[in-house]
Structure 1
Amino acid sequence: MPSFGIMTAPMQVDYRDILRVWQEADAIPEIEHAWLFDHLMPIGGRPDGPAHEGWTLLSALAAKTRRLRLGLLVTSNRFRPPAMLAKIAATVDVVSGGRLDFGIGAGSRPDHPLARREYDAHGLPFHDFAHSVGSLAEACTVIRRLWTETEPFDFDGTYVQLTGAFCNPKPAQRPYPPVLIGGRSSATLRVVAEHADLWNIPGGDIDDVVRRSALLDRYCAEIGRDPASITRSIHLPVSYDQPRVTREAITEAVTAGFQHIVLGLPAPYPSDVARWVADELVTASV
């Protein structure tokens, strides 16, 4: 059986609205997980509109919910040094009582102007794609070591250098929270094969999604990993006016082997939207 979750992009919306939806979903067993994104400025709507910082908001929502698994879809590895990110994520896992799914990716595409501007606006470097993917692989290695190793260690990588690295407290989950890597490029899929427990891709062109999934299978085989050990996750946009379109997309994705379905909810959120998702999309699709 597939698992279903919701995604509330924390831009152009008030904190109280997101909290309302998450607390509604927390009481509905058909909805098993909930997600935010990781952008520092809006990537849609008014460019000067509100955009809440993802990990700060996630910690607040973790403290206000009891059952939902939760995460960012996905953290930009470009925004925070990996040792700092490991510390942040461990703290959220503790706050949530062990409900974090750790989503991470290489960072925004350089051809997305609204995403690109947030780097200059926050004094963050924007490296080329080879750098972003290489640093993602090293970040996954470092973060996992910080979550599991009981003694300080040094790390001298191509992109990451640490001296006396240590993380305490450790995450509540043992050995560590599930790692979800998002992306579709072949280079990113190689990192997925090496490091991920779940792989997420945006929906839309189901034929391309299937091809990317097959490519991931191949990369797993090349390193001797069982492809079935990586749960396939897909993000699908929700249409409030045409739920049939969303249900058809869910059926396509599940038929293609995707067992982790994230339903993106556009704002503003209707009243009782979580119950509507459960009744009109989840129950009607399985």
Structure 2
Amino acid sequence: MPHTPPPSFGIMTAPMQVGYHDILRVWREADAIPEIEHAWLFDHLMPIGGDPDGPAHEGWTLLSALAAHTRRLRLGVMVTSNRFRPPAMLAKIATTVDIVSGGRLDFGIGVGSRPHPPAARREYAAHGLPFHDTAHAVESLAEACTLIRQLWTEEKPFDFHGTHHRLTGAFGNPKPVQRPHPPILIGGRSSATLRVAAAHADLWNIPGGDLDDAVRRSALLDRYCAGIGRDPAAITRSIHLPVSYDEPAATRDAIREAVGAGFGHIVLGLPAPYPDGVARWAADELIGAPAR
């Protein structure tokens, strides 16, 4: 019987309706707690919850700052909107963060916001960004994954002539610390996105809330992997679970169920405002409890 590694646990601090120093406090605390192995931000330019005019920090800039103030945590954006930045520019940004962090980046990427929640749609018009249809967005994501990997690994300049992205004399220098490249995490649940994940992902993430659906989507990912001759076990299954400070038992139950369903990468969404000692609390009340 194949050995199943123990699950890894991380935290998510959505950088909206909260200050930089509050997030920094939580990440630095988590960095000293071995039970917490990874930490994540999201990628929205305006709040998608709470006060619509409240603060929202840009994810990759913030991630680089947090990388410089931590030493152990793996870190990433869950997940980068491929709609926001040209992929070659994103490859350069991600390489810089991998270097700043000393090789701790997990590169999260996805199609980008759908029309729901509506609060996520407004950020495109507000920043002068186009919002193409889903088919265009998924094709663009697949091309982006291909060319980002090339920029991370090719040792000589190259041209890329895709349907949605065209590069001439493309070259990435310096390269990421991690070789051949940082792990790629693709987030999403649509069948089209799962096909991209089957081809490109080292990890696949889905939001929690409906575990039966997550299990069905994971099985579909298995089938897509088999269809292209890839071992489905090569893709770690990741799930984001919202945390309740008032009802930790419900979160513990959700963790147990997700791990039992084959999700080995657990991301605990910590709502703001963050209580003092929240990372230690998560390790003791949420991570340690199901492991005992």
TM class by smaller structure: over 0.9
Tell me, what secondary structure is at the counterpart of 1:270?
Answer: coil
Question: Where does residue 198 of structure 2 map in the other structure?
Answer: 193
CA offsets per residue over residues 238-275 of structure 1, 9 Å max, x none?
00000000000000100000000000000000000000
Question: Where does residue 178 of structure 1 map in the other structure?
Answer: 183
Given the alignment, which residue of 87, 91, 105 partners 1:86?
91
Distance apart, 1:111 and its partner CA: 3.2
Tell me, what secondary structure is at the counterpart of 1:284?
Answer: helix
Distance apart, 1:285 and its partner CA: 1.0
Once residues 7 and 112 of structure 1 are traced to their aligned partners in structure 2, the CA distance between those partners, rounded to angstroms, is 19
Once residues 46 and 164 of structure 1 are traced to their aligned partners in structure 2, the CA distance between those partners, rounded to angstroms, is 44
Query: Structure 1: any 5+ residue segments left out of the alignment?
Result: none
Matches within 5 A, 1:73-222: 73-222=78-227
Question: Where does residue 43 of structure 2 map in the other structure?
Answer: 38
Query: Structure 2: any 5+ residue segments left out of the alignment?
Result: 1-5
CA offsets per residue over residues 17-72 of structure 1, 9 Å max, x none?
00000000000000000000000000000011000000000000000000000000
Tell me, what secondary structure is at the counterpart of 2:181?
Answer: coil
Given the alignment, which residue of 228, 233, 251 partners 1:246?
251
Question: Where does residue 50 of structure 1 map in the other structure?
Answer: 55
Given the alignment, which residue of 276, 280, 288 partners 1:275?
280
CA offsets per residue over residues 162-195 of structure 1, 9 Å max, x none?
0000111110100000000000000000000000
Tell me, what secondary structure is at the counterpart of 2:281?
Answer: helix
Once residues 228 and 111 of structure 1 are traced to their aligned partners in structure 2, the CA distance between those partners, rounded to angstroms, is 31
**TM-score (structure 1 length as normaliser):** 1.00
Corresponding position: 1:263 with 2:268? yes
Distance apart, 1:110 and its partner CA: 1.8
| Paired-residue identity, % | 83
Question: Where does residue 229 of structure 1 map in the other structure?
Answer: 234
Question: Where does residue 3 of structure 2 map in the other structure?
Answer: none
Once residues 17 and 271 of structure 1 are traced to their aligned partners in structure 2, the CA distance between those partners, rounded to angstroms, is 10
Letter of the structure 1 residue corresponding to residue 118 of structure 2: P
Runs of 4+ residues over 3 Å off in structure 1? none
Give the length in aligned residue pairs. Answer: 286
